[in-house]
Amino acid sequence: MSIKINALWTLLILLLFMTQCAVHHTESQIQFGIEAAQHDLWDEAIFRWEKVIQSNPNSAAAHNNLAVAYERKGDFKKAEMEYEKALQLSPKDEQIQSNYQKFKEKITAKKKEEISDEKK
């Protein structure tokens, strides 16, 4: 009986260690993406945040950051999808709300500008 208990404790400790490593890896990838974005390396930032989402699809931060990157690259369709996913995961996050609101305002202004240009 004590061998089973020891084996169970060993397994639990191993799982805890693996979970902590995964969390640290996710955080380091998010941070790496932020640093890449700060240097206007948007493709690298996208790569890092997509990697986070592959391992942790419920990371609102990664979806939000990815949305910002797609927006900066001019891929507004993907940006909107990522903002909506981030908001779905974390609807009360003020940073995500603010980013999404600014994005929507930018898109609205861009559409008005296009309509105005067409009338000329």
Per-residue model confidence (pLDDT) at position 113: 82
- Round to whole Å and give the CA distance between 69 and 89: 18
**What distance lies between CA 22 and its chain's CA centroid?**
16
- How far is 33 from 75, CA to CA, in rounded Å? 18
Q: Measure the CA dihedral 57/60/62/63, to 10°.
A: 80
- Find the range with the poorest average confidence among 27-31, 46-50, 75-79, 80-84: 27-31
Q: Is the pLDDT of residue 18 over 60?
A: no
This prediction has a pTM of 0.74
pLDDT of residue 13 exceeding 80, the answer is no
Give the CATH fold of the 2-119 domain.
1.25.40
Average per-residue pLDDT for the chain: 84
Contact 61, 53 (CB under 8 A): no
- 23 versus 113: the higher-pLDDT residue is 113
Tell me, what's the pLDDT at 22?
46
